Structure 1
Amino acid sequence: MTFTYHIPTKVLFGIGQLNHLHEQDLPGKKALIVISSGKSTRANGYLQRVEDELKKAKVASVVFDKILPNPVRRHVSEGAAFAKEHGCDFVIGLGGGSTIDSAKAIAIMATNEGEFWDYIGGGSGGQKAIPTWPLPIVAITTTAGTGTEADPWLVITKEETNEKIGSGYLGTFPVLSIVDPELMVTVPPHLTAYQGFDALFHSTEGYINNTANTLSDLYSLEAIKVIARSLETAVKDGSNLKAREDVALGNTLAGMVESTSGCISEHSLEHAMSAYHPNLPHGAGLIMISREYYTHMASVHACDQRMVDMAKAMGKTDAKDPMDFVQALVELQKACQVDSLKMSDYQITQQELLPMVANARANMGGLFAVDPVVLSDEDCLKIYSKSFA
């Protein structure tokens, strides 16, 4: 057994933890606060609360508010230029995974020359090493989906070529993350479900990943357990702080899974879908393909015992067959009222399925390399096709 364990992020977890931001040893004196292009961060008072906390800490701030649900390269460039123009010495990502991912990318480009894609390793990326350390990153998450507050990873899309590619390295770990479930009570039910399943799949993929190890297994199974236990309640009663706390914990643990194990090709396949259709929420896309993806894994007996373990973590204590996990997964999707999602709901066509297989392989091919079984292009097309209707 060999593994490397390094998660250099201080995490403040719990209800009311945002109120302690001003007490922290913040990494600079002027922050670029990165938020989404939507209204919720301001309307719910979260931006004002962060600004007030920074004032208490005698830290100045400016706001960059252009980030899309599937973040794009041009906003990384604009955000980095904005940070340089205003003399910012650290970056705060306030919002969901797309916002925090963007904050990480902006932090890289605020200290480095050229274009962000110069430093991307997949697809048409320039594959250059990042010469200068990024600005320090603080993550304040208002959703429970990506776990990006506890890992170095970020995903950005190059719109011109439909390339949605993950990146990240030691320098893009947040130095500080605040996970306050109180900030998540305003997330609508359908988005709560999409985000919760994203966190769940980070954990399930990490558990059957060929790089899984003792530490990542601990995080994976606990994340699966708490998400499965409380996601339905969080979807149906967003004000239930205990349920929100469970799902938030599962999400942060899933980020730790990402830091010690990682995703597999399920994520590659979805990234291709939302690269072509950026209006498709990432979690929704994962839900669409998940039943057929894990049914395939069960049918080829790639990881039978691990699927049984995951079924037990989801509450099927008598699980004996890998399909018990698929059954538990479908039951949770039905309980959260997301089992009827269809690709056609987001204008995906059957003619796009084969190009999306090629896109997934070209841009996120590294994740296929850690699958528990080799997936051919034909296998991927079957998963898409069976998921389409």
Structure 2
Amino acid sequence: MSYNFYQPTRVLFGPGRLNELGENIKNLNLGKKAAIVISNGKSTKESGSLDRTEKQLKDAGIDTVIFDKVESNPLASTIMEAAAFMKENHCEFIVALGGGSVMDAAKIIAIMATNPGDVWDYAFGGHGGCKPYLETPLPVVAVTTTAGTGSEVDAWGVVNNEKYDEKIGLGGADASHPVLAVVDPELMATVPPKFTAFQGFDALFHSTECYITSPANLMSDMFAITAIENIGRYLARAVQDGSDMEAREHVAFANTLSGHVMELSACSSEHSMEHAMSAMHPELPHGAGLIMISLEYYKYFVEHHACDERFIRMAKALGREDASEPMDFVRALADLQKACGVDDLKMSDYGFKPEEFPEMAKKAKDTMGGLYAADRIELNEEDTVSIYRKSYR
């Protein structure tokens, strides 16, 4: 029942809240020079969200520069390039405008803009140096344009080290939380159906994982079940009609809750397994990788009776009101994937080969073994390989 809850992020939630960005930043006195960090794609430029964000900052008397090189799976080399960019331009804070990868990257860039050395010096796991960062990061303002990671309210970022094919979460200290988050569902209306689904399932799995791991508690359960319910009811609608603002709003709400859930509990080995996948195949969207392994992953814990009642409760939250056995959750999950058109994803389409699975399983435990430790029952490397193999198509 015990828990710790510290949430220093001011959240502006709801349609149209981007219009209040400048006023809130001005009130926070973050400085007069900001870097807007965006992806290396075109979405924020074509949707108009970048122009709107720049205008909000300009009207608040803040000068801006733009760093537009963040990949869908952010690279350590890009983090270091961005950190140098922050120093050269004397940036006092960062505005992360984009999805989970941009917000994750921004939080790590903020650390490296004020701390010495290489980003992997501060990674715990794999080839990381396991050093705590000592200098306070630059403040980060998170304007999320997707509903997938909850990164706008948590203290972590995930980054790929291309030298070692490792993907590890960094951050975790109080100062790594964004100081302000804007969650405006209107900014998500142009996300294509496929990516709406990928992102929505990522948010879902943050909550399902945190609900079945050992650190789960009264507070995290409340957030997790509410998030699962909102995704179960509204994700398929958001996928089918991106302009359905009611659906977008509920999925965005679930996404932000999933960020709170991760602060209160812990994700499971499912996320470790996927990080190993997208570390070795960076073109794989994180949410897609989670979907690919999810059915076999949860079957493992259902078959081993890890927490039967919790699986039944999650099945009901996803809409299967008559759920009476743990496997009903897996069935409900399969139904939702079909409703969202992502039930036919194949590892082989992203270049995976079965002979890679032992190495992937080893990387999963070596780089993010802490999440394995949160599982209620042990999932060893052999079991991990088995889940990969059963998921492979």
Range class of TM-score, shorter chain: over 0.9
Do residues 315 (structure 1) and 319 (structure 2) align?
yes
State how far apart, in whole Å, the 2-side matches of 1:267 and 1:366 are. 11
State how far apart, in whole Å, the 2-side matches of 1:63 and 1:211 are. 39
Aligned counterpart, 1:264: 268
How far did residue 287 of structure 1 move?
A: 0.2
AA partner of residue 321 (structure 2): T
State how far apart, in whole Å, the 2-side matches of 1:44 and 1:287 are. 27
Do residues 9 (structure 1) and 3 (structure 2) align?
no
Aligned counterpart, 1:325: 329
Aligned counterpart, 1:57: 60
Do residues 355 (structure 1) and 353 (structure 2) align?
no
State how far apart, in whole Å, the 1-side matches of 2:263 and 2:132 are. 20
Aligned counterpart, 2:137: 134
How far did residue 372 of structure 1 move?
A: 1.4
Which ranges of structure 2 fall in alignment gaps of 5 or more residues?
A: none
Moved more, 10-19 or 314-323: 314-323
Do residues 375 (structure 1) and 374 (structure 2) align?
no
Aligned counterpart, 2:39: 36
Aligned counterpart, 1:336: 340
AA partner of residue 12 (structure 1): L
How far did residue 35 of structure 1 move?
A: 0.2
State how far apart, in whole Å, the 2-side matches of 1:373 and 1:28 are. 48
Do residues 125 (structure 1) and 128 (structure 2) align?
yes
Specify which of 273, 276, 281 is matched with residue 280 of structure 2.
276
In the alignment of these two chains, the number of paired residues is 389
Specify which of 304, 322, 335 is matched with residue 308 of structure 2.
304
Do residues 225 (structure 1) and 218 (structure 2) align?
no
How far did residue 182 of structure 1 move?
A: 0.2
CA RMSD of aligned residues (A): 0.7
Query: What CA deviation, in whole Å up to 9, does each residue of 1:24-70 have, x standing for no partner?
Result: 12422111110000011111111110000001111111000000000
How far did residue 305 of structure 1 move?
A: 0.5
How far did residue 2 of structure 1 move?
A: 2.2
How far did residue 376 of structure 1 move?
A: 1.5
Aligned counterpart, 1:346: 350
State how far apart, in whole Å, the 2-side matches of 1:162 and 1:266 are. 18
Query: What CA deviation, in whole Å up to 9, does each residue of 1:59-100 have, x standing for no partner?
Result: 111000000000010111111111111111001110000000
Percent identity of equivalent pairs:
57
State how far apart, in whole Å, the 2-side matches of 1:324 and 1:298 are. 10
State how far apart, in whole Å, the 2-side matches of 1:183 and 1:47 are. 10
AA partner of residue 137 (structure 1): V
State how far apart, in whole Å, the 1-side matches of 2:250 and 2:239 are. 12
State how far apart, in whole Å, the 1-side matches of 2:151 and 2:68 are. 19
Specify which of 73, 84, 88 is matched with residue 87 of structure 2.
84
Q: Report the TM-score, using the length of structure 2 for normalisation.
A: 0.98
State how far apart, in whole Å, the 2-side matches of 1:56 and 1:382 are. 56
Which ranges of structure 1 fall in alignment gaps of 5 or more residues?
A: none
State how far apart, in whole Å, the 2-side matches of 1:64 and 1:23 are. 23
Query: What CA deviation, in whole Å up to 9, does each residue of 1:175-232 have, x standing for no partner?
Result: 0000000000110000000000000000000101110111100000000000110000
State how far apart, in whole Å, the 2-side matches of 1:177 and 1:106 are. 17
State how far apart, in whole Å, the 1-side matches of 2:151 and 2:218 are. 21
AA partner of residue 33 (structure 1): I
AA partner of residue 114 (structure 1): G
Query: What CA deviation, in whole Å up to 9, does each residue of 1:220-279 have, x standing for no partner?
Result: 000000011000010010011000001100000000001111211000000010000000
Aligned counterpart, 1:151: 154
Specify which of 54, 70, 75 is matched with residue 73 of structure 2.
70
State how far apart, in whole Å, the 2-side matches of 1:128 and 1:297 are. 34
Structure 1 SS opposite 2:142: strand
Do residues 104 (structure 1) and 107 (structure 2) align?
yes
Specify which of 190, 195, 199 is matched with residue 186 of structure 1.
190
